[in-house]
Chain A
Amino acid sequence: MSSSPRILMCAPTHYGIHYEINPWMKTERQADHALAQLQWRALRDQLIAAGAEIAEIAPVEGLPDLVFTANAALIFKRRAVISHFKHVQRQGEEAHFRRWLGADGFEVFETPNRFSFEGAGDALFCGDTLFAGYRQRSDALGHQQIGELLGVRVLPLELVDAYYYHLDTCFCPLAPGVAIYYPGAFDDYGRRVLAAHVPTLIEVEAGEAESFACNAAVVGRTVITNVGCADLHRQLRTAGFTPAETPLGEFVKAGGSAKCLTLRLDGEEAAGWRV
């Protein structure tokens, strides 16, 4: 069921660094509010230019991270497993995402047994397999139970570097069997699992990983990242993708970039079940 790409976003009206729940966040290093608006709109335009349709959830005062819609849920066909955030600061977002996705016609599931689970931030399909990041934000056992719920194979990957606290900050499937990743965010087991189950792995160097090179939004063959990812872009072109960049520095201050700001509602490009 190939449909036109549809992406959920949330305007950064109430965005800001109001608390610190990852090493990127420093309340004294506040985001430039006006610049953040511009950057967000530029990303939105690029996604539309790449062929995506954008749906928006209304911003909510007091929930600055609602802009990071990737963490709303895990999408599997027309089912949505709603996140249960590890940090209380973000738990208020759950009800909004639940309501929006339900209203959009998704069959809504709760995270089993109140495990911590942060949606597409930590659970990404590459082919038929769900790759799932754990230890920083999501629980390994919760991933396994979600896998059983959906009837899919789950391969949990331990995230060993607090700067790469979500799987989507260090791993990005581009197509079935193809992904970019930053090796330094995984331990040896994780690297071996990725090598064994993703035939084409494009490696991101440390400097570009810090620019959130792995936090890319993929629409068709277009891969949109923050600026400062020249080496990755070169590799992407070689691999037959169309890289695009747009400055997202105001969101990097909160530990997010292109991917974090989007939730693919019709399934990620790399999801095997989508094709």
Chain B
Amino acid sequence: MSETDLREDLRRAAFPAVEDVEVRGHIIDSLILPKVLDGITAAGGMFIIKNVAIGHDRSDPSFARIEVRAKDEAALEEIMAQISDHGAVAVHGGDARLVEADMDGAFPEGFYSTTNQKTEVRLGGHWIGVADQEMDCGIVVDDRSISCRCLPMTEVQRGMKVVVGHVGTRVFPLERQEQGHAFAFMNSAVSTEKPKGVVIREIARQLFENRRDGKRSLLVGGPAIVHTGSGPLVCELLRDGYIHKLFAGNALATHDIEQSLFGTSLGVNLSEGTIVDAGHEHHLRAINLIRRAGSIAAAVESGLLRSGIMYECIKNGVDFHLSGSIRDDGPLPDVVTDALECQRIMREMVKNVTFCLMVATTLHSVAVGNLLPATVKVVCVDINPSTVIKLNDRGSFQTVGLVTDVEPFLRALVAEVRKLEG
């Protein structure tokens, strides 16, 4: 990020109250545009000219769209009152339209469909930030607290007030809002030819800084982590407090436990790479043992399970969630098999996550990508470029893709983290 961008970001952060205005007419010849801009600055605000169209001949009007910013709502109102005298008009077009939900589990027709970008809704003349930002939801408004939040349609209850249409809504695309985040240099393009060392160093720094600043990092992992023998690397990150939450499926947990109990993953001896006799039964026997114990935690408690990713999660207080699927064996007793319930749990768990590492899992990555607001930085690591592309195509703009084998990636990541620890 350039120094100018940084300065711009800092300036924006100091002027959080925003309103877009339009000025039209012969705004250049009449000095109305400079007058409006001077007025904003003189009143202690700042402006960003978003668009200017200059008329071609003398009778052609010109047009400017200006983002007006002030240190707070009161200051903004003062500026707006002043510049509206010169013909500047707010472009919000009024308050958002609210319609009461007429049934449970569905929005009223014409509901505003959300993105994962920061969104605000205009209510009673004020812009209110939308909480729990998530794509493909609706926005419900709570009159009493004058607050609003994203809500998936399954959660809608009759009588809830739902934003309908686009009037009185605005979205702050991340490109503008936060150009200068730490990942700026790695744009979301997926390439197998990125300098991986640089990217991995950056991911290590994110994990390191998150731990240092008390922020939460989430790992979404697939069973290839275990199959490739990378389990111990993840265990290191778990033990040292770099990963605070884990989302996975039945497979990762099962093969991790299989490895812990039998030394194999899908029947393959991970130390020797050889196929073990009757090894294909190991994962089922592992599941059965945990089911008999009651839960993974109970198995750790009783001393049955003494190593591995799941063991480290229990031992280090890392919250985990296991989502079921129709092809699962068992599943493990901790696996949640109701898909909507899984969404609810994950939605709750991602609320304070600021960094997400997705490793070797396609469906989970897409599912979690859907739940995350665009402000959360996401790194998707997969041997298959299409996984990363899929995530980008679904609108998770913040995803940095890294096409690489899991084991060398995690090995390099742990090494980079160690370097930062000094």
Contacts and interface: CB of A to CB of B under 8 A. Distances in A.
Interface residues of B, number: 17
A153 B85 contact: no
Contacts of A129: 58
A152 B59 contact: yes
A99 B13 CA distance: 56
B87 interface: yes
Contacts of A263: none
Interface string A143-166: 110011001111111100000000
A189 B61 contact: no
A140 interface: yes
A247 B59 CA distance: 39
Contacts of A274: none
B35 interface: yes
A26 interface: no
Nearest to A129: B58
Interface string B10-42: 000000000000001110011110110000000
Interface string B80-124: 000011110100000000000000000000000000000000000
B87 A140 contact: yes
A153 B87 contact: no
Q: Is the interface of B mostly helix, strand, loop or mixed?
A: loop
Contacts of B84: 141
A79 interface: no
A189 B34 contact: yes
A193 interface: yes
B25 A147 contact: yes
B29 A144 contact: no
Given A143-B25, A144-B24, A148-B61, A154 B30 contact: yes
Report the contact-size class of chain A (Cβ under 8 Å from the partner).
20 to 34
A129 B30 CA distance: 11
A138 to B, nearest CB: 11
Nearest to B58: A153
A140 B88 CA distance: 9
Nearest to A190: B31
A158 B86 contact: yes
Interface of A is mostly: mixed
A148 B27 CA distance: 13
A128 interface: yes
B29 A193 contact: yes
Nearest to B34: A189
B61 A156 contact: no
B110 to A, nearest CB: 27
A156 B32 contact: yes
A77 interface: no
Interface in A170-218: 189, 192-193, 196-197
A145 B341 CA distance: 56
B87 A193 contact: no
Contacts of B85: 134-135, 140, 158
B30 A155 contact: yes
B303 to A, nearest CB: 78
A268 interface: no
A156 B59 contact: no
Nearest to B26: A153
A122 interface: no
A266 interface: no
Given A144-B25, A155-B29, A139 B59 contact: no
Contact of B86 (A147, A154, A156): A156
Contacts of B58: 128-129, 153
B89 A156 contact: no
A193 B30 contact: yes
Contacts of B61: 144, 147-148
Contact of A154 (B26, B34, B35): B26
B32 A197 contact: no
B25 A156 contact: yes
B80 to A, nearest CB: 13
B25 A197 contact: no
A189 B37 CA distance: 12
Given A128-B58, A148-B61, A189-B35, A156 B29 contact: no
Contacts of A155: 26, 29-30
A110 B131 CA distance: 45
Q: Which of A153, A157, A196 has the most CB of B within 10 A?
A: A153
Contacts of A134: 85-87
B59 A151 contact: yes
Given A189-B31, A189-B34, A139 B87 contact: yes
A11 B95 CA distance: 49
Nearest to B85: A135
A48 B111 CA distance: 68
Contacts of A148: 25, 61
Given A135-B85, A156-B87, A147 B31 contact: no
A128 B60 CA distance: 13
Interface in B183-219: none
B22 to A, nearest CB: 10
6 contacts: A128-B59, A144-B25, A144-B87, A189-B35, A193-B31, A197-B29
Given A156-B86, A158-B85, 8 more contacts: A134-B87, A140-B86, A143-B87, A147-B26, A153-B26, A153-B58, A156-B32, A158-B35
Interface of A: 128-129, 134-135, 139-141, 143-144, 147-148, 151-158, 189, 192-193, 196-197
Interface of B: 24-26, 29-32, 34-35, 58-59, 61, 84-87, 89
A-B complex: 7 closest residue pairs judged by Cβ atoms = A144-B25, A140-B87, A141-B87, A155-B30, A189-B31, A153-B58, A189-B35
